[in-house]
Amino acid sequence: MSKTPTAPLNWIIVATSFGFVVSQLDVTIVNVALASMGTALPASVSGLQWVVDAYALLFASLLLSAGALGDRLGAKRVYIAGFVLFAMASLACGVAPNAAALVVARAVQGIGASALVPPSLALLAHACGDNAKVRARAIGLWTAAGGISIAAGPVTGGFLIGWFGWRSIFLVNLPLVAIGIALTMRYVPETPRNGRGRHLDLPGQALAILALIGLTGGTIEMGPRGWNDGLVQGSFAVGAAAAIVFMFVEARSGNPMLPLSFFRNRTFSSAVAVGILVNLSYYGTIFVLSLYLQQARGYGVLAAGLAFLPLTATFILSNVAAGALVGRFGSRLPMTAGFLLAAGGYLLLRILDEATPYWLMVPGFLLIPLGMGTGVPAMTTALLSSVERKFSGTASGVLNTARQAGGAVGVAAFGSLVGKAHEAIVPGLHAAVSISGGLLALAALISLIGIRGR
């Protein structure tokens, strides 16, 4: 039996934010470790892409099922189980003897991460009760914690690797998880178990995993193998077929993991499309920038991590300002303006080569988070306002699934632009930031046309 919390809501916010922070931190913290991993294990560029995407794929594809499992078993139980699995997988990552073992451990880590995000939000919403203002403040802080942890990943990774080696970026999760479990056990009340609540959509879940792995795997392997390779063509064929069957199954399911009816709402569809574009561009570009800084520029891991510091600091400031902007202007204007700023930031990075002074990188490193940090909270607000309150958890799950899947595809696609050769890194970076600029300009256009006004 769960105890009533004996501390202010702030402690519940901290406890539930821990799961969101560690799951998001591990999306980007590995980027500055890629060069070290590639040398130590050893691993090719495609192998390094799998280290990033094995986590992102399982994380993305299981988010909606994790939410349904929390409804049925109790969000607190699932949340703590997610922490335990995440810690065990992090330990396995930290002691992995080779690249294959690391990829498998990262996949299990992604499964644990998927059990942290939806239950943590459900626990937070339950603790806030029916007080809309308190709930909005709490969820805003929870969202900001996750967003900041994504931006802080490269900086944190740089410090840890510089002092303790690349394995430390996984082992540091162990004390963080222990703190998260202790705070959750002490302060967070359990949600009611709803045995008749959302059912697990096992056929849809299996098809979603198959579609994501097929399409992303084909993109990753296309770089080293080429389009004519049988494995690459087979991966794309399986992924596409699974995606088509998935849509058919979800349309006919009584309890779909992806409610297709949501997409009849223009604002909802636009927000999901924008979320995919934002994560695809950001995760893919950060992957390529990490290789550029260390392999083309010769930065050490600590220097590479510190190079991303403007991204982190500006994300914090823009996230704080976003709430006031959305309150005053609605979601459409901050989204449109924010994503145009981010597009400009990406395009500014086209000047980079092997000898570009660092200070010329800074304007792009400032504009990207300034724009995205303004646009993404507005995007989330727009999506949640487009559905009935009772569906807000499911809608949030759809958005997070789409964003994480977009990030996985971004790493796969942009990593293939870099290729095997050292001399391909700078041209690959130029292609990546040009594509990202175009995608964010498209996101701004979708926001302007598709998001409802105030």
Q: What is the pLDDT of residues 83-140, one digit of tens each?
A: 999 999 999 999 999 999 999 999 999 999 999 988 888 888 788 877 766 766 777 6
How much of the chain exceeds pLDDT 70, in percent?
93
Residue 176 has pLDDT above 90, yes or no: yes
Which pLDDT score is estimated for 389? 65
Which pLDDT score is estimated for 234? 92
Position 280: which residue type? L
Residue 6 has pLDDT above 50, yes or no: no
User: Which residues, including other chains, have CB under 8 Å from residue 207's CB and lie 6 or more apart?
Assistant: 242, 243, 245, 246, 249
Residue 422 has pLDDT above 70, yes or no: no
| pTM > 0.85: yes or no | no
Residue 35 has pLDDT above 70, yes or no: yes
CB atoms within 10 A of CB 389: 12
Lowest-pLDDT choice from 12-16, 50-54, 134-138, 214-218: 134-138
Dihedral pair phi/psi, residue 158, rounded to 5°: -60, -45
Position 35: which residue type? A
Q: How many angstroms from the chain centroid is the CA of residue 7?
A: 31
Residue 194 has pLDDT above 70, yes or no: no
Lowest-pLDDT choice from 253-257, 339-343, 376-380: 253-257
**Contact in structure between 26 and 150 (CB atoms under 8 Å):** no
pLDDT band at residue 309 using 50, 70 and 90 as cut-offs: confident
Which pLDDT score is estimated for 199? 67
pLDDT band at residue 4 using 50, 70 and 90 as cut-offs: very low
**Contact in structure between 345 and 434 (CB atoms under 8 Å):** no
Give 326-361 pLDDT, tens digit per residue.
878 888 999 999 999 999 999 999 999 988 999 999
Which pLDDT score is estimated for 195? 53
The 3-class secondary structure across the chain, one letter per residue, is: CCCCCCCCHHHHHHHHHHHHHHHHHHHHCCHHHHHHHHHHCCCCHHHHHHHHHHHHHHHHHHHHHHHHHHHHHCHHHHHHHHHHHHHHHHHHHHCCCCHHHHHHHHHHHHHHHHCCHHHHHHHHHHHHCCCHHHHHHHHHHHHHHHHHHHHHHHHHHHHHHHHHCCCHHHHCHHHHHHHHHHHHHHHCCCCCCCCCCCCCCHHHHHHHHHHHHHHHHHHHHHHHHCCCCHHHHHHHHHHHHHHHHHHHHHHHCCCCCCCHHHHHCHHHHHHHHHHHHHHHHHHHHHHHHHHHHHHHCCCCHHHHHHHCHHHHHHHHHHHHHHHHHHHHHCCHHHHHHHHHHHHHHHHHHHHCCCCCCHHHCHHHHHHHHHHHHHHHHHHHHHHHHCCCHHHHHHHHHHHHHHHHHHHHHHHHHHHHHHCCCHHHHHHHHHHHHHHHHHHHHHHHHHHHHHCCCC
* Residue, of 155 and 72, whose pLDDT is higher: 155
* Residue, of 352 and 385, whose pLDDT is higher: 352
- The rounded mean pLDDT for the chain is 86
Q: What is the dihedral of CA 199, 200, 203, 207, to 10 degrees?
A: 130
Distance CA 37, CA 39 (A): 5
